[in-house]
Structures are given as structure tokens and as C-alpha cells.
Amino acid sequence: MSWHEILRANARLGWAMLRADWPPLVWLVGALLPEVVRMLVFVAIGSITGGSEGARYALIGCVVLSVAGTCVSAVTDIPAIDVALGTYRTIAAAGVPVFVQYVARALALAAAALVVSVCVAITLGLVTGQPAMIWPLVSRVWMLLPAVAAATMLGLVVIAPAIGSNWEGITYNAATALVTVVSGAVFAVTVPTLQAVGDVLPLTHAIRALRESLTGEPWMGEWMLEFAVATGWCIIGAFVYRAQTARGRRTGRGAYAA
């Protein structure tokens, strides 16, 4: 198969896996509803600590943060399933790097993450008494594209060292928690160390860009920084999976152990 045929096959497989794992009703109850409730809690915390301004601040941040559940967490299932089924070595033998194939397979989840974000904006806008925020947020959902890309890259990177081990759940849960804390989605991050960490992790710059866009401030700089973060994690992912594959071929461990 040519490289573009391999990528198309992976993209189709990603959509097939999404439909198989998450039929509409199951996705609604098992994925969308819990994410909406989780974001609602964050907005409630923002409201308690900062009143109406705090609720607005958190709502904007949570529209972006809501993509992490799909992009950072669910994306990690892609390599984990390959390893569990013993198909990683077959994927690695194709003419396209494993990481690139996984990115193609993750496109379906990236699209699902944007749907979740729109649903969060609509539902939370209504439930928290901020209906005027719904259209400004929904009409700017395209601004989340670099955030979705960056979060997807991070999800693939953090799971790589753990696949085939008992640490898979810890890695993506820890990554999601860290992004939640340092992104500034719910509270402004004032600790310099946490600010530095947030600057190199997904979502931080996208959240700033979205807030700046809504207040009429220049936002393109932060938006481009989110693209830079996505590019950086993409480069790291390419190296990590290359090393993972090389190690497996050499030792028969890790992803090759299944």
C-alpha cells in the first residue's frame, strides 16, 4: 500500500472504532454528559469564588478545557488497543511511521472533541445563566483547532512509554489533571513555575486567545503560540514512537511484548 492509502485506512479505522465504541446513545450518556457535568462543576467553582465575572471566566476556559477528555484521555486508547491486540508490530512494519498513522486514526476523536466543546458552550451557557455567551463561543469554535491538535499530540506522547504496562491509566489521568490545573481554564495561574509549565502544555494559549478575542483584544499571537505548542508535541511524538518502535524491535519488550 502507498503511504496515502495507509493513512486513509487509518482514518477510516479511527471512525469505525469511534462508532463501535461510542454509539450515539452510549456517547451521549457515557462521554458527553459526564464532560458537561465536570465543566459545570468548574464553572460553579468560578462563580462561587469570583461571582458573575468568575463564572464567565470559567465558562470560556471550560469550552476549551472540555476537549482534553477526548483528546488527551480517549486518544491514548489508540496505541493501547494495538498493543493489547498484538498488532503494534504489524503497524510498525508499514511504510508510514507509527506516530503518523496514529495521528490519522485520531482525527475522528478530534472531531468528536469539537462537538463536545460546542455542546458544553450551549449547555453551560443556558444552565449558568449566560445565554448571551453561547453564540460568541460557538461561532469561535474554529479557534480550538490548534488546541485540539496540541492535546491530541500530548495524549499520544504521554501514553507511549506506558503502553503494554500497568501505568496506562495513571499517565493520561495525570496529564489531564496537569493540563486542567496549569491551563488557567478556571483560575488565573499566578505561580511562575506553573505558568512556565502551562506555556508548553496544550490549551493554555488557546484559552488566552479565546478570551482576548471575546474582549476585542489582539489574539493572533496567543493563537499562533498554541500552534507552536502543537508542533512541539508533534515533534516529540515522532521521536518517542520512533524510539519505542526501535526498542521493541531490538528487545521484544514494550509495545512488542504482546
- Give the type of residue at 171: T
Please check whether residue 88 is in contact with residue 79, taking contact to mean a CB–CB distance below 8 angstroms: yes
Chain centre to alpha carbon of residue 209: 17
The grid coordinates of residue 224 equal 499562533
Q: DSSP string of 121-188?
A: HHHHHHHTT-GGGHHHHHTTGGGGHHHHHHHHHHHHHHHGGGTTSS-HHHHHHHHHHHHHHHS-SSS-
Q: What is the pLDDT of residues 21-34, one digit of tens each?
A: 899 999 999 999 99
Q: What is the pLDDT of residues 68-111, one digit of tens each?
A: 999 998 998 898 888 888 888 888 888 899 999 999 999 999 99
| pLDDT for residue 95 | 83
Chain centre to alpha carbon of residue 210: 17
